[in-house]
Chains A and B, each alone.
Chain A
Amino acid sequence: MNETIAKEHLSEEQIDQDLLKNVNWGGKFKLWMGFLTVSLIICLYYYYQQLQNGLGVTGLHDYVSWGIYISNFVFFVATSLIGMLVSSVLGMMKVDWVRPVSRIAELVAVAFAMVAGLIIITDMGRPDRLLNVFIHGRVQSPIVWDIAVVVTYVAISALLLYIPMLPDIALCRDKLNNVPKWQQKMYQRLSLGWNNTAKQFRLMNRYTRMLLILIIPIALSIHTVTSWLFAMTLRSGWDSPIFGPYFVSGAFVAGCAAVIIAMYFFRSNYKLKDYITSDHFDRMGKLLVLVALVYVYFNINEIIVPGYKANTADAKHVHEMLYGHDSVMFWLVQLGGLVIPFLLILFRPMRKPLPLTIIAVIILAGAWFKRVLIVVPTQLAPYYPIQNVPEAWSGYSPTTPEIAITIASFILVLMIITVLAKLFPVVPIWEVKEEMNHNNNK
């Protein structure tokens, strides 16, 4: 028994009350949503510009045709992978302490995966031709695999969020009498007539287990295939056989950081200190150390193997990173965004909620720029020299519309998480109760 889930002092009513408290449309929520909406509209204005004038409004050009849109896409897919790690891998290994935070991980996964698909569309000059990808796509193309696997992952994550939530939806249906009519109706429909029968639990557990197993290969594929978008080409810096595991391990780092930030936010805003304890942060911090260590290991491989060679294009790419054109960003990202934070969280005090959250924010920012470093410099070093083209094409810097549209993707994620976290309890109530009863009976 561990202290994370030791809630003997709480009654069931108390738990219901605590955890259902956040399901309301308070003033704070309206203010926050209002702010997000206004920001989104401003950003959408830039997307309108891009629709009208084409990708010319971005900093993309013939050489760098994948800029921060695609780096951002990679980042989003990466972050969404955490749902699989927390709810599936740890869940099936019966690591009990993750149960209260598994829904938060799933929320993060669903939101980031959904928006990742949209980001791809923003990178298209003619989104009206999107259907052509499905009509004329070649099965041989990693892009087609990517679409298939992203769509599938969104579906599985959504189901994995929904099905284990059935008892809680039923609870909302029964307990929340002062919410708007449409909301009551929604709970009514979504709860599928749940009334806690043993058979219902059995079915729910069976389907959940199926999903937990399914999601492992799908989640691994989603990010492996994303890495193949790069690794299947013959370009220096991308042409690497370890790109799949390299991406997956990096994904867990970004995802862990995102979940820690979300945990902190919910814990302080929804007053969930009894449910998301500092022990949870401590353990998430340790998990982060583990995944960061794996990621550091892959980073070393990615750098030293091509970098050791004298004069290959890949070596040049690595040298450009280590002490060339991209070195400032590279060292900021590697040391500031990965190694130093990782060393810091080795110390217990740094795994307390606030310091850990601050470190997580830095890691997440580093993870974002890391994707830019993976995507952009390779395209600026083609095998044929860049010549007889406008001066600006030998570099890349994102324009205001590009940045605004990228910010819009983050706003969308926040909106999705915010709304879902207002409709449903963010900590699985029935699981907390079950855990408590289980402990009490021991």
Chain B
Amino acid sequence: MKNNKRYKLIILFCLCFLAVANVNAQSDWQVPAKDNENLSPFLFDDDMILEGRVAYENSCTSCHGTPGQDDFTPMSPPPGDPAAEQFQAQSDGSLFYKIKMGRASMPKFEDAFADDELWNIVAYIRSFNENYKQQLPNMEGVEIPVYAMKLSFDQNVDKLVVKVLAEELPQAEVSVSAYVMGTFGKHLLGKAQTNELGIAYVDVDPALPGDAEGKVNVLVKATKEFARAKVQQDLAIAMPTEIHSAIEGRHIWSTDRMAPIWLKITFFVSVFGVWFALLFIVFGLRNIKRAREES
């Protein structure tokens, strides 16, 4: 009996501690002032929001749920709903920092996403806030290089070769990501960094199906700090594939004109055969009439 009471007391104590720790933890996530004021160098457009959404659905939904639905996983401290005040009241820099650095059960995404991809996620979180007005950094005095990209394909090693230049000079340490454009969106081909020659190599699966000439539509993005560039172009990097119409040729499922010969023959021979026999009988009925006249 006595033991039991003590036991209960211990539980109560633990619960209190947890609650206090919880409140503490929540209020305590300090973001360094510099990081707090950090601003996205990119304008949050629909493209960013869409990419952010894909990243969010892949990496965050399991804990934070669908934004706006308050269906985050119950944990301590609670992850919270990104559409809620708790998130939206923070600065862009603060969200960026927290996602990047993580804390306790909030994973650290620094290694998983490049900076521009982290901003995509922030753009997505912000898209749930109607009153949000993006604050852009003061770019005065900051020189943003204008990138140009040259794409080619190295057949010997099946690599997409991306050369990043600014004013004819090769750019090192630029993050390059390459995508193949499909009917339902883009598929990541690979990511790489440019070397000191301004060249990045992205592996290409040689079995990737292309059009009849092996072409696919490739999108390549290059980012470094505030600089960003995009090219989209058809490249013969994939396996030449002949695409056949599903109703091409003679099939059960094609048009009437293209019905399989065996089926047409079977159908028409049986139908006409039977009706021929029936007409033979119907006309034969005249013989019955004639048979009377004979007698």
Residue A324 at the chain B interface, CB threshold 8 Å: no
Chain A nearest CB: distance from B155 CB in Å?
43
B: contact size bracket: 20 to 34
* B267 CB contacts on chain A under 8 angstroms: 139, 145, 148
* B294 CB contacts on chain A under 8 angstroms: 197, 199
* B263 CB contacts on chain A under 8 angstroms: 139-140
Q: Of B255, B264, B274, B291, which one neighbours A203 at CB under 8 angstroms?
A: B291
| C-alpha gap A140/B268 in the complex (Å) | 12
| C-alpha gap A152/B271 in the complex (Å) | 8
A: contact size bracket: 20 to 34
CB distance B295 to A195 under 8 Å?
Answer: yes
Main secondary structure of the interface of A (DSSP, over half): helix
| C-alpha gap A180/B294 in the complex (Å) | 31
Q: Of A140, A200, A203, which one neighbours B259 at CB under 8 angstroms?
A: A140
| C-alpha gap A194/B295 in the complex (Å) | 11
* A194 CB contacts on chain B under 8 angstroms: 288, 292
* A163 CB contacts on chain B under 8 angstroms: 281, 285
* A328 CB contacts on chain B under 8 angstroms: none
Chain A nearest CB: distance from B5 CB in Å?
51
Q: Of B253, B256, B278, which one neighbours A155 at CB under 8 angstroms?
A: B278
Main secondary structure of the interface of B (DSSP, over half): helix
* A332 CB contacts on chain B under 8 angstroms: none
Q: Of A148, A193, A207, which one neighbours B289 at CB under 8 angstroms?
A: A193
CB distance B282 to A218 under 8 Å?
Answer: no
Q: Which of B254, B259, B277, B278 has the most CB of A within 10 A?
A: B278
Q: Of A197, A207, A218, which one neighbours B292 at CB under 8 angstroms?
A: A197
Residue A85 at the chain B interface, CB threshold 8 Å: no
Q: A139-B267, A140-B259, A140-B263 in contact; A193/B281 too (CB < 8 A)?
A: no
CB distance A197 to B291 under 8 Å?
Answer: yes
CB distance A139 to B264 under 8 Å?
Answer: yes
Segment 258-290 of B: residues with Cβ below 8 Å from A: 259-260, 263-264, 267-268, 271, 274-275, 277-278, 281-282, 284-285, 287-289
Residue A381 at the chain B interface, CB threshold 8 Å: no
Q: Which residues of A come within 8 Å of B, CB atoms? A: 136-140, 145, 148, 152, 155-156, 159, 163, 166, 192-195, 197, 199-200, 203-204, 207, 210-211, 214, 218
Question: What are 29 A-B interface contacts by the 8 Å CB criterion?
Answer: A136-B256, A138-B255, A138-B259, A140-B256, A140-B259, A148-B267, A152-B274, A152-B278, A155-B278, A159-B278, A159-B281, A159-B282, A163-B285, A166-B288, A192-B285, A193-B288, A193-B289, A193-B293, A194-B288, A195-B292, A197-B294, A199-B295, A200-B292, A207-B281, A211-B281, A214-B274, A214-B277, A214-B278, A218-B274
